[in-house]
Structure 1
């Protein structure tokens, strides 16, 4: 039994009954609990110490937790959670807070795709308001990012995790010289070690707005050092999907805090975007002084056409499922035309780990070419690597209207021509089209049972889906004896749409774990097209 399982059912301070884990972070665990005195649900944040932490570090972590509680208590806004109590047990504080039935903004983006500019502006206005309240109370949040923003099932926006906030009048709880926060969302002045002010939080807000419409932060480079260097030195690549929000993002992401948009300007422009149709050209949506938000270097760094390009596209929609509205920056698009791969001799079977090693070499080549300005060529070559091949290296022809593309962990899968990849990381690829969203996840530590893994995932995440209803969770036959299980459920999306999802988790013969996670409209789930898509994804997947 784990420590968390053992703690479930524990009664804190004679009134707060711990029930289930809502989330985990670097400093501890957040529990769903019940206040047995008042009979209401609450969230309880438990501070946990890693093994081997010395006494000085323990005191610093306790001080940080108390700082968080004080900071939240001083901010009075609907976009900030209410702190009910702080209790001490086991010589550490536990923060008792309002329970917000919600998902994080990062979960919304990852599962449902990027947000339209209008919705992003609405969320931005709520965040701006709560940040303004915090700043006037002498508090800098210092960690504004999508994973710290909750989107309630009722649409409420909540900024959480004031754990590294700096409260005016309180001594710093951060070690000397330590830079805390997510590198992708840290402002240039903080990256340079300067004392930040309110503009630093506004920069992080701008990076968050960018992530809402693009699916990724503006300067993510894969490592903390590379990302912080880019934040300080590189020009901003304009968001392709920013629309009317683009000049607001550009103004918030100015490197000089003195030139950055302040709260008043940002509020005025976000209000304008939130009140306009998403399709209105951004050139007409902001005031004359900001008519040229980009310096010339942006144009030089964005040589590929900004015309949306989808899989197999050559300027026209190749299928009825073209995705111009879902276009992404060049490094995240598949742009090869659909074609039959040339016949090649079938080499000896290579393990998925062997193929991943080859991709790591390609990644190193990309990094070398970045310095010489050859990043676009290298990325295009990396995307073409292994395209059109099965797990044994032999050529495999995709059915009409589909193209075989790379996924995480050396995998490949066939997706419709015209679809785009909206997010890629070392262990996740995401493909999006009008019919729905496919997420392919990979792990080299799959556990001992697919069914056990799916059950654990369902228990961990089901509470984050509005109107969640489980349809099935069972072992299935898949690929000549792979250990596999399906989890299927329905829920209500952030825009009120009824959605249905299924996740097939499989453990391969080489002990890799893969999940095919398909989400589509509940209204079209039983339709012929949806059945064809799901069958093609599952049948064509190769580890």
Structure 2
């Protein structure tokens, strides 16, 4: 009997704690709260102080050798030390560490509530505002930890607890890395959840605080989407995607999207830091949430009134609105048909007029050649050659005058038809540009490519969200103008801000491009040397190099220039050599409704170039981007500084 009791006790010690066991003479183990690969968390009662606590037990799996046991014990003690050093309301408080069965047991504050992963699984995703609140709480813990030289390295939804009172707590510093701790050794293993491991850790590089910021971005993504940003089914495939693939755009993030994108930047040097993330999360929390109108349940009498009177009125109104929209649609369709027919007739008339002009010119030339032909025939008759008579001696002056007048009339008709096809007014008084009139194809958002000779930028002015960029060569990188006759240059006079004409600085000339709806003063010698992207704008320079100015036009701009640049910035950064962001900031420019400057550097054509890209919306149909590029070492020089100032001061929209 004694042997059996002893054997049972030995088995209990080997298996670890059991319910009802008393640790260190004061902590009575209760129910199991959770189990992991290396340990079990128990609810326990501190019988000395009379409070409920959580006790984390370190468990050894079968077959673990002594070296591995020592390593696990060291990790557990390091976790307790790391938590004890953090001063934050979002971190669990460590009360005690006891040594039993030759291993440490951590006695901690008990947090009653589910993990964030459990909460989302059971209750659905968080709103962007609540997710931002959770993010700020986790950020507080990370700031305190990083201030102590501690990296968490395993920030994920299952390690965040949501207490019943709403408190958010970051737990499990079991794989934390503590700066200067001699007990930290590398085993060559990558620890942590693959979906939340940063790209630099996945590549085996030494991580810093930005690695925890990446994991926070993944946590926010999962909070509003219900799934991690990267999950390919296996650890290797997931880590490969983390390192190489763009994140799937979140669908439910709303105002939180910019924070998520900023935290999930693959380059840790450009990743959103603590201050930036804190400011953006705070803005999301403080933004007013849309309030749904109150729903008032009508009483029986009101229900009858709505059913009989109001419902009929609403139905009649809806029918009238539908009929009105149908009539407007039909009228627009008919108007478009008439305009199309008018343009076709005009083009046919233009073609006919050109033929008539050519015929009249040929007739005049033939008539002018008559005296010469007569004189040439004289030698054949054996008579002396007469002196060639002037045209007026062969053809009456009135006939010549009529021929010349006919040619001028035809040419005038050609000019009128060209004016109609290229820039004439339609029935509604709106300008209609023809196919050969130099107007670019209207720009839809998307396909943005880094600018440069042989690699231009479809520099979509702040409009609907751009798509993922692709590197593509310039559609027209020759040294001449894009469409002959669409760009004109005038010397000495320019448009001052606001539209009034004014003197230009010496060495500048006004460039007018009706095809892209603008005029602007540029350095003399600048001419169109390329077309941007898919005909969204034009590039101007002296020889196709730098400095250069690119102007893009969009006939359906969006309402947030800064947001458009931020969405585009990630794509340009990923496809540019030597890219360095200087800033994306809203600015005031002529009181336009939304304006933002995007400044960056990159290596282009073997030259380090600095770029200022100003995007702005004038109104519902006019959006522009003015991109000034200069060699970085000349950016603050007189030429580049004056070129920027004059460009922004003299820019004028057309049409």
- TM bucket by the smaller chain? 0.5 to 0.7
1:292 is matched with which residue: 555, 563, 566?
Answer: 566
Given that 2:256 and 2:281 are in contact with CA atoms closer than 8 Å, whether structure 1 keeps it comes out as yes
Does structure 2 retain, via aligned residues, the 8 Å contact 1:60–1:173? no
Equivalent residue of 1:42, what SS?
A: strand
Maintained 8 Å contact 2:74/2:183: no
Aligned in 2, Cα 1:286/1:186: closer, same or farther, shift over 3 Å? farther
Residues in 2 aligned to 1:268 and 1:233: alpha-carbon distance in whole angstroms: 29
Structure 2, unaligned stretches of length 5 or more? 1-7, 292-463, 466-557, 573-655
How much does 1:288 deviate? 3.2
Aligned equivalents of 1:140, 1:287: Cα separation in 2:
36
How big is the shift at 1:174?
5.1
1:155-166 mapped onto 2 (5 Å cutoff)? 155-166=166-177
The residue correspondences of 1:382-401 to structure 2 (distance < 5 A) are none
Match of 1:185 in 2: 196
In the alignment, which of 95, 102, 111 is matched to residue 91 of structure 1?
102
Q: Where in structure 2 are the equivalents of 1:207-218 lying within 5 Å?
A: 207-218=218-229
| 1:204 matches 2:478 | no
The correspondence for 2:264, drawn from 237, 247, 253, is 253
Structure with the bigger percentage of helix: 2
Change (3 A) 1:33 1:279: same
Superposition pairs of residues 45-84 of structure 1, within 5 angstroms? 45-84=56-95
1:12 maps to 2:27: no
Alignment correspondent of 1:222: 233
Shift of 1:115: 0.6
Alpha-carbon deviation of 1:277?
Answer: 3.8
Deviation at 1:173, TM superposition (A): 3.9
Structure 1 gap ranges (5+): 299-543
How has the CA–CA distance of structure 1 residues 6 and 98 changed in structure 2, closer, same or farther, with 3 Å as cutoff? closer
Matched residue, 1:34? 45
**Contact in 1 for aligned 2:202/2:239 (Cα 8 Å):** yes
Q: Distance in 1 between matches of 2:138 and 2:16?
A: 35
- Tell whether the 8 Å contact from 2:213 to 2:263 is kept in structure 1 after alignment: yes
- Please tell me whether residue 119 in structure 1 is matched to residue 130 in structure 2: yes
Structure 1 residues 286 and 78 mapped into 2: Cα distance closer, same or farther (>3 Å)?
farther
Deviation at 1:113, TM superposition (A): 0.7
Q: CA deviation at 1:168?
A: 1.2
Which residue in the other structure is 2:645 paired with?
none
Give the alignment's Cα RMSD to 1 decimal. 2.5
Aligned 8 A contact 1:109 1:212 in 2: yes
* Offset, 1:296: 7.9
Assess, with a 3 A threshold, how the Cα gap between structure 1 residues 251 and 33 changes in structure 2: closer, same or farther.
same
Which deviations, in whole Å up to 9, do the C-alpha atoms of 1:222-268 show, x marking residues without a partner? 10000000000001111000100001000000000000000000000
Secondary structure, counterpart of 1:7 in structure 2: coil
* TM-score normalised by structure 2 residue count: 0.43
Flag the structure with more relative contact order, 1 or 2, with Cα contacts below 8 A and sequence separation at least 6. Answer: 1
CA contact (8 A) 1:17 1:34 kept: yes
1:41–1:286 distance in 2 versus 1, CA, 3 Å: farther
Q: Does 1:43 align with 2:39?
A: no
CA contact (8 A) 2:143 2:274 kept: yes
Aligned residue for 1:146?
157
Structure 2: distance between partners of 1:170 and 1:86: 19
> How much does 1:275 deviate?
1.3
Q: Structure 1 residue 278: deviation in Å?
A: 4.8
SS class of match (1:102): coil
User: Aligned in 2, Cα 1:232/1:155: closer, same or farther, shift over 3 Å?
Assistant: same
How big is each residue's C-alpha offset from its partner over 1:283-308, in whole Å with a ceiling of 9 and x where there is no partner? 9999937842356869xxxxxxxxxx
Which of 235, 253, 257 is matched with 1:242 structurally? 253
Q: Mark the CA change 1:221 to 1:294 in structure 2 (over 3 Å): closer, same or farther.
A: farther
In structure 2, do the counterparts of structure 1 residues 259 and 133 end up closer, same or farther at CA, with 3 Å as the change threshold?
same
Number of aligned residues:
297
